Chain A
Amino acid sequence: EAGVAQSPRYKIIEKRQSVAFWCNPISGHATLYWYQQILGQGPKLLIQFQNNGVVDDSQLPKDRFSAERLKGVDSTLKIQPAKLEDSAVYLCASSLAQDRGTPYEQYFGPGTRLTVT
């Protein structure tokens, strides 16, 4: 089966500009996640969708970050305006909506490396 697709793979922008990332999850996966991974750190969850709805966006900086998942499939993450500290790899992941008793095994895309100058 095809994996999680992300684009672009790399993006360089100046601070105060805006940027958008796109993610196409594995077919049939109801749950979609966006993570931010700063160099030297583990991925940090920004937002979690279950189909069209937001399950958790507690760590999303809502003054500058927004995300949507249209029709419960593809998703976009936007930053506007970008700051220097937003330089990171942005990872998208998806998982099946599983019954309790098994872990939510998440499948990750290759990520988008964002550099803000």
Chain B
Amino acid sequence: DQQVKQNSPSLSVQEGRISILNCDYTNSMFDYFLWYKKYPAEGPTFLISISSIKDKNEDGRFTVFLNKSAKHLSLHIVPSQPGDSAVYFCAAENQGGKLIFGQGTELSVKP
């Protein structure tokens, strides 16, 4: 049972444009949603999070939007830079601090 889904395995964007990465979830009981970024041969690193009681959180070029009625969240990166090229994981956190990850979306930002 895949509770967190990222349906796009890859995304290619031109430098300077907006990157939008999407994530769907099935369980309404999650407390937080987090985005992690992963470069090859490294562990995931935390990027940005949002509480389940909020609908938007912004940090510099990164904004996460949460649509609770649709059980959907998205990560916007504006403007996209070549250094943003990585695999992005969406994760949902329950009350015990357990993270459930999506399958990941590989973002490629072309110069």
Contacts and interface: CB of A to CB of B under 8 A. Distances in A.
B83 to A, nearest CB: 19
Interface in A24-77: 31, 33, 40-45, 48, 55-56
Given A40-B103, A42-B89, A104 B44 contact: no
Contact of A42 (B32, B93, B96, B101): B101
A56 B95 CA distance: 12
A108 B97 contact: no
Contacts of A43: 44, 89, 99, 101
Interface residues of B, number: 28
Interface size class of A (residues with CB under 8 A): 20 to 34
Given A40-B103, A43-B89, A48-B97, A110 B43 contact: yes
A44 B101 contact: yes
B103 A41 contact: yes
B41 interface: yes
A7 B102 CA distance: 26
A108 B49 contact: no
Interface string A76-117: 000000000000000101010000100111111111000000
Nearest to A56: B98
A4 B89 contact: no
B42 interface: yes
Contacts of B102: 42
Interface in A11-33: 31, 33
Interface in B1-53: 4, 6, 9, 31-32, 34, 36, 41-46, 49, 51
Interface of A: 4, 31, 33, 40-45, 48, 55-56, 91, 93, 95, 100, 103-111
29 contacts: A42-B4, A42-B89, A42-B102, A42-B104, A43-B44, A43-B101, A45-B99, A48-B96, A48-B97, A48-B98, A55-B96, A56-B96, A91-B43, A100-B95, A103-B32, A103-B34, A103-B49, A103-B51, A103-B93, A104-B97, A105-B49, A106-B99, A107-B45, A108-B36, A108-B44, A109-B43, A110-B42, A111-B42, A111-B43
